[in-house]
Structure 1
């Protein structure tokens, strides 16, 4: 087990290096000079050259990459060109809405998707199964920005139950901020529940046809216990996988929803940094998101060992 875990960690380090290389070089391929954008149209060539020298943009690209890797190894993500503050501080200031949005969204997706998938599998081919499968396909094809606008119009504007947008005042209590996350979290939860429903249904169908399920039923065990304890317990591995991957994707993939609801999260920070060619912020935010992604994958592998003893051996 520990040897396998060590190999996984080594593989994740390689993945992080490749991600860092792709992020660094792809940001440099984007058109536009951050120094020129920062100084404006009235800047002279000498002013632009001086600013490029201050931020090390005049060095060869490979030298910049090596220096950047050294800084990352010490936990320093660099200094934002436009915000004039450390990138870690800028990300930390925007992390709260993104973190709780992802947490609430994946919770809603799991609470909707797992029971619906179980019901769909147990009553396979019946009306309930057809309804659940149809709703899952509909949810998978609904654009999150369109559903977000519909929710804003109905629940926020017409009914006035929730705030229209934003994340509350800087000194607002946490309960008020949760109210701002209710609509976007529900939108993302509904959209992402479709994949969980389909995976749960498929995994449960594979297990429900096994011999030990028929044996449990022949012993007179109640159907609820057969489904929840024997079938669902052995179908957990793929379900855990899809829930974990959904959580990882929500951390870095909620940019559109954050924009629609005006949430000051990491997604909005990255969009602003791209428009300004703020290389350190783009690189730092993407590295953090990639790090969270690989850590969630590692956590999923660890959970496997507790859910399925065969993985442990």
Structure 2
């Protein structure tokens, strides 16, 4: 088990080192002078030179790279040009909406996908199974922003059950802020449930006809216990993998949905940084999202040890 964990840690560190290097190279090889691009066409040569020195762009690339690594080792992601604040602080200020939106979306997706996928596999070839297959294909093809607009029109504008957009005022309570996340979470959760449903169904079909399932039934064990304890437990690793990947993708892919619902999350911050060409924010956001992605995958690898003892060997 120790070897397994060490291998995953080494893989995680390798991926992060690769991401850090790619982000460094992308910013440096972008057309034009990054300092001039950040400051805009009205900047004077003196202002550009000051920013170049501040960002270390006047040094050679190897020196810049070493400085960049040392900066990251201290937890310093840089300083935003337009926000005039550390990038880490800017990301932290925007983290709450994105975090809860991702959590709610993955809970909604799992609540829909797991029981539907299990039942679809159990009733393979039935009308229910065919309907689920059709609906998952439809859900997978629906853009989340379009579904979000429909939800706004129906449940926010027509019925007035939920806020149209935003995240509440500065003095808004926690429940008020969470109410602003219901519609975007449903939009993301419904679309994400399609992939999880298909993986759950496929994984369950692989194990339902195995010998240990037939043996459990022959011993007179209840059908629900057979499905959940023997079949689903052994089909859980592929399902857990796709759930984790979906959660990681939601963290990095909720940009459009946050924009549609005017949520002050990380996605909205990244869009604003791209429009303003605030490279330190873009660079810091890419690194943080990549780190979250890698950590989620590492957590999934550790959960494998709890689900399937064979992984330990």
> Normalising by structure 2, what TM-score?
0.96
Tell me the equivalent position of 2:185: 185
Asked if 1:270 is matched to 2:270, the reply is: yes
Distance (whole Å) between structure 1 residues aligned to residue 222 and residue 42 of structure 2: 78
Contact conserved, 1:37 with 1:276, CA < 8 A, in 2? no
Q: Is the 8 A contact 2:207 2:231 kept in 1?
A: yes
Q: Which moved more, 1:177-186 or 1:77-86?
A: 77-86
Distance 1:35 1:27, change over 3 A: closer
Q: Give the Cα–Cα distance (whole angstroms) in 2 for the partners of residues 229 and 265 of structure 1.
A: 39
Question: Is 1:279 paired with 2:279?
Answer: yes
Aligned CA RMSD, in angstroms, stands at: 1.5
Other-structure match for 2:166? 166
Query: Who is 1:57 aligned against?
Result: 57
2:151 corresponds to 1:151: yes
Give a deviation string over 1:39-67, Cα, whole Å, max 9, x none. Answer: 44433223322332233233334432221
Q: In the superposition, relative to structure 1, how do residues 162 and 32 fare at CA in structure 2: closer, same or farther (>3 Å)?
A: farther
CA contact 1:137–1:194 (8 Å) conserved in 2:
yes
CA distance in 2, matches of 1:54, 1:305: 47
Is 1:128 the counterpart of 2:122? The answer is no
Other-structure match for 1:71:
71
Question: In the alignment, is residue 242 of structure 1 matched against residue 242 of structure 2?
Answer: yes
**14-23 or 269-278: which moved more?**
269-278
* Structure 2 unmatched runs, 5+: none
Q: Distance in 2 between matches of 1:192 and 1:199?
A: 12
Shift of the alpha carbon at 1:275? 1.9
- After the TM superposition, which of the residue ranges 33-42 and 199-208 deviates more from structure 2? 33-42
Give the structure 1 partner of residue 259 of structure 2: 259
What is the CA–CA distance in structure 1 between the aligned matches of 2:111 and 2:89, rounded to whole Å? 34
**Structure 1 residues 210, 20: closer, same or farther in 2, change over 3 A?**
same
Q: CA deviation at 1:273?
A: 1.4
Asked if residue 44 in structure 1 is aligned to residue 44 in structure 2, the reply is yes
Gap runs ≥5 in structure 1? none
Whole-angstrom CA distance in 2 between matches of 1:196 and 1:41 = 48
What residue is the counterpart of 1:110 in the other structure? Answer: 110
Compute the displacement of 1:248 (Å): 0.9
8 Å contact from structure 2 (residues 199, 242) kept in 1: yes
CA contact (8 A) 2:38 2:279 kept: no
Decide whether aligned partners of structure 1 residues 142 and 86 sit closer, same or farther in structure 2, where only a CA change above 3 A counts.
same
- Residues 1:194 and 2:194 are matched in the alignment: yes
Residues in 1 aligned to 2:149 and 2:32: alpha-carbon distance in whole angstroms: 33
Q: Contact (CA 8 Å) 2:102, 2:250: kept in 1 or not?
A: yes
Output the CA distance in 1 between the equivalents of 2:40 and 2:288. 30
TM-score (norm 1): 0.96
Measure the CA separation in 2 of the matches of 1:42 and 1:155. Answer: 46
What is the CA distance between 1:37 and its match in structure 2? 5.0
